[in-house]
Chains A and B, each alone.
Chain A
Amino acid sequence: MNTTFRALMGATALCASAGLAAAQDTTLTVATVNNGDMIVMQGLTADFEANNPGIKVDWVTLEENILRERVTTDIATKGGQYDVLTIGTYEVPIWAKQQWLVPLNDLPAEYQADDLLPAVREALSVDGTLYAAPFYGESAMVMYRTDLAEAAGVTIPDSPTWTDIMAAAEAMTDRDAEISGICLRGKPGWGENMAFLTAMANSYGARWFNPDWAPQFDSEEWKATLTDYLTMMNEYGPPGASSNGFNENLSLFQQGKCGIWIDATVAASFVTDPENSTVADKVGFAQFPNKEGVDNHGNWLWAWSLAIPTSSDAPEAAKAFIAWATGPDYAALVAAGKGWRAAPPGTRTSLYENADYQAAAPFAAMTLTSMNAANTQKASVQDIPYTGGQFVGIPEFQGIGTAVGQQFSAALAGQMSADDALAGAQANTTREMTRAGYIK
């Protein structure tokens, strides 16, 4: 009897400990994109797992558009396939309002949420509640070849106007040496050419919609924006520019074939990387240009951010992961292995106060200036009914933005005039906004 009792007790203890172990083993599925900073994060997973015993991390890395499709489908159907999502400033407010995301206001004090850059924090919050934590953030700025500018006898000020940029692009263009004065996005897409052109339009005083949601492509501001864009690209831009996006322009700039490139601030670390860029030590930086008399530098703001879907069955473990990946100590962890230049930019004030980072990243000051200048709550100097900087923060924008981007890309390819592209954009957007119920 005694032996039986002992055996039973032993079996019970074994079962209990096995059950406890099972309860402690949580597997987090993190959906992300294959950007350089995310690859570094994946490489550091062991550090998180060592500091959080019982939590294992599985990565699902997907192409950006596929990721959006998959995550949207999963959240809408409450699939629960993912515990942590990598999404941007476009999705966060829309999904938070749908109650698809877990609020992150209860992150521990060590997380130092007040250290997040105010513009980024605001863009990821709805009614003061944070719904996603920024992993890396970006605005847009001018990157230019200091050697070409000097040889051409032009100076690009820290806060240039579009007139300055056009003059510099003209001076730096050298077709014989295959150097284009300026490289800008031309590939159609709401996140490609329309990200740039929306920011450029903001800096020209244009707006997508008036307060009654009527599209404004028939305005003088939009006409000036598109006309100047086409003039710059046709006269000083690279051949085949209508198929160039971020990566294509990055490749051209790194090979020394662009005088000026205006794009996301995150590109600064790539073009100054001596291992991959042939012009690493010849790059200057300036703020996103504005039209004379318009106090607006485009208001481009994006942050790849980590969020928890409400369908996750491990929200506490997911919060622990987010606190680690976007916390104040993460930059130092990256720096220890890869140097301070590799620290994810654009999320925390403390990074820009760090002397080591300032010394390693010559673009740090201009990045911070650009990010602080962004106002996603009012992107245009005119009255507008929407939020968002280089995009319009409504669910319909992906479709509308891409359709308009196709019109503008066709104009760049010489298939239609600027007037026809604007007329097409106006008609298309009016139709879609009426269908969606914005225009009564």
Chain B
Amino acid sequence: MARAVSRNQKIGWTIAAWIVALVIFFPILYAIITSLKTEQEAIAGFNLIPSFTFESYQAVQSQNDYFKPFMNSVILSVGSTILALIVAIPAAWAMAFSPTKRTKDILMWMLSTKMMPAVAVLVPIYLIFLRTGLMDTRIGLTILLMLINLPIVVWMLYTYFREIPGEILEAARMDGATLRDEIVHILTPMAVPGIASTLLLNVILAWNEAFWTIQLTTTNAAPLSAFIASFSSPQGLFWAKLSAASTMAIAPILILGWFSQKQLVRGLTFGAVK
């Protein structure tokens, strides 16, 4: 039975939600504001009113071409996500509908790989990339980002697939559906919200990855994470330029997140058949 919520309670919760959202979003907002200031204004202390100058954006673009790292970010995040889904959907299907007594252990083992600090395997991965010619290549980083995010993708898809009643798949088999038909025509359409949210989350994770994308690139495959890192200075105050570079780097993913938030929330909070 739904619980009655008074008007005052509703207003109170709304205000609280807005305050929490503002606190969380404030660092991003302040970076955007700082990017619209001059360098003098940026170092002059806390101030929410910029002079709305775009000189930092011009300086950033003239110092370092934005388009190339932007395209690299798009290719790496979208490429690694598609690759991860191709691998993870059959894996999650197998674990959800044909589990063995070791399935839980495998899932836990996959997740445990995320607990390892990345720097612990830097030298082996660096050497592998070096010897195989994958260093500073988009294909190498796409594969690596796919592998890094694969445990999360498999876990999320496994959770969604578990919500789908096995009887539906059995009925399809009775009607003569092949394994391919089962996955492509029955399972995948039913799990679309889950797959969509997994896809979006994976794109965001790949876009924001800033350890391997900096360590394994120089000039050809460097994405926006490396673009931002290049504006940090040990001897010099370039806060407005750094903020402009950060804003340019996060803007695409922020816009994507804004337009897809309904799907993202729905996918993360609801099961496949609810």
Out of B63, B122, B222, B231, name the residue touching A42 (CB < 8 Å). B63
**Interface residues, chain B, CB within 8 Å of chain A?**
39-40, 43-45, 63-64, 122-123, 126-127, 130, 135-136, 214-215, 218-219, 222, 226, 229-238
Task: Give the complex CA separation of A36 and B39 in angstroms.
Answer: 13
**Interface residue A62 (Cβ < 8 Å from any Cβ of B):** yes
Q: How far is the CB of B49 from chain A (nearest CB, A)?
A: 18
A73 and chain B: residue at smallest CB distance: B126
Contact status of A36 and B236, CB under 8 A, knowing A251-B43, A255-B44: yes
B226 and chain A: residue at smallest CB distance: A62
Further 19 A-B residue pairs, CB within 8 A, beyond A31-B218, A81-B218, A270-B237: A35-B234, A35-B235, A36-B235, A62-B230, A63-B229, A63-B230, A63-B232, A63-B234, A73-B126, A77-B126, A77-B130, A79-B126, A79-B135, A82-B218, A246-B235, A247-B233, A247-B234, A247-B236, A276-B40
**Interface residue A85 (Cβ < 8 Å from any Cβ of B):** no
**Interface residue A33 (Cβ < 8 Å from any Cβ of B):** yes
Q: How far is the CB of B170 from chain A (nearest CB, A)?
A: 53
Please indicate the chain A residues that have their CB under 8 angstroms from the CB of B135 in the complex. 79, 81
Please indicate the chain A residues that have their CB under 8 angstroms from the CB of B238 in the complex. 34
A27 and chain B: residue at smallest CB distance: B219
Chain A interface, >50% SS class: mixed
Query: For window 283-318 of chain A, which residues contact chain B by CB distance below 8 Å?
Result: none
Please indicate the chain B residues that have their CB under 8 angstroms from the CB of A60 in the complex. 218-219, 222, 230
Contact status of A62 and B235, CB under 8 A, knowing A73-B215, A276-B39: no
Contact status of A250 and B237, CB under 8 A, knowing A77-B123, A81-B135, A255-B45: yes
Residues of A in contact (CB 8 Å), total 37
B44 and chain A: residue at smallest CB distance: A255
Q: How far is the CB of A34 from chain B (nearest CB, A)?
A: 4
Task: Give the complex CA separation of A250 and B234 in angstroms.
Answer: 11
A35 and B233 contact, CB distance less than 8 A = yes
- 8 residue pairs, one from A and one from B, having the closest CB atoms: A61-B230, A63-B232, A34-B233, A64-B234, A251-B43, A58-B219, A36-B236, A35-B235
B236 and chain A: residue at smallest CB distance: A36
11 A-B residue pairs with Cβ-Cβ distance under 8 Å, sorted by A, are A34-B230, A59-B219, A61-B64, A62-B229, A66-B214, A77-B126, A79-B126, A191-B234, A246-B234, A247-B234, A251-B43
B126 and A266 contact, CB distance less than 8 A = no
Number of A-B residue pairs, CB cutoff 8 Å, is 88
Task: Give the complex CA separation of A73 and B130 in angstroms.
Answer: 11
Please indicate the chain B residues that have their CB under 8 angstroms from the CB of A36 in the complex. 233, 235-236
**Interface residue A70 (Cβ < 8 Å from any Cβ of B):** yes
Q: Chain B CB within 10 Å — which of A246, A264, A266 has the most?
A: A246
Please indicate the chain B residues that have their CB under 8 angstroms from the CB of A58 in the complex. 218-219
Please indicate the chain A residues that have their CB under 8 angstroms from the CB of B219 in the complex. 29, 58-60
B231 and A34 contact, CB distance less than 8 A = yes
A252 and chain B: residue at smallest CB distance: B43
Please indicate the chain A residues that have their CB under 8 angstroms from the CB of B231 in the complex. 34, 61
Task: Give the complex CA separation of A33 and B222 in angstroms.
Answer: 16
**Interface residue A39 (Cβ < 8 Å from any Cβ of B):** yes
B43 and A73 contact, CB distance less than 8 A = no
**Interface residue A69 (Cβ < 8 Å from any Cβ of B):** yes
A29 and B123 contact, CB distance less than 8 A = no
Please indicate the chain A residues that have their CB under 8 angstroms from the CB of B229 in the complex. 61-63, 66
A69 and chain B: residue at smallest CB distance: B215
Please indicate the chain A residues that have their CB under 8 angstroms from the CB of B222 in the complex. 60
**Interface residue A347 (Cβ < 8 Å from any Cβ of B):** no
Please indicate the chain A residues that have their CB under 8 angstroms from the CB of B43 in the complex. 251, 254-255, 276
A266 and B230 contact, CB distance less than 8 A = no
B126 and A34 contact, CB distance less than 8 A = no
A255 and chain B: residue at smallest CB distance: B44
Please indicate the chain B residues that have their CB under 8 angstroms from the CB of A66 in the complex. 214, 229
Task: Give the complex CA separation of A275 and B234 in angstroms.
Answer: 20
Task: Give the complex CA separation of A15 and B126 in angstroms.
Answer: 36
Q: Chain A CB within 10 Å — which of B40, B214, B226, B230 has the most?
A: B230
Query: For window 315-372 of chain A, which residues contact chain B by CB distance below 8 Å?
Result: none
Query: For window 94-132 of chain A, which residues contact chain B by CB distance below 8 Å?
Result: none
A251 and B237 contact, CB distance less than 8 A = yes
Please indicate the chain B residues that have their CB under 8 angstroms from the CB of A270 in the complex. 236-237
B242 and chain A: residue at smallest CB distance: A34
Task: Give the complex CA separation of A62 and B231 in angstroms.
Answer: 7
A302 and chain B: residue at smallest CB distance: B235
A254 and chain B: residue at smallest CB distance: B43
B222 and chain A: residue at smallest CB distance: A60
Q: Chain A CB within 10 Å — which of B44, B215, B219, B234 has the most?
A: B234
B45 and chain A: residue at smallest CB distance: A255
Q: How far is the CB of A143 from chain B (nearest CB, A)?
A: 14
Q: Chain A CB within 10 Å — which of B222, B230, B236, B238 has the most?
A: B236
B59 and chain A: residue at smallest CB distance: A39
Out of A62, A246, A276, name the residue touching B214 (CB < 8 Å). A62
Q: How far is the CB of A390 from chain B (nearest CB, A)?
A: 14
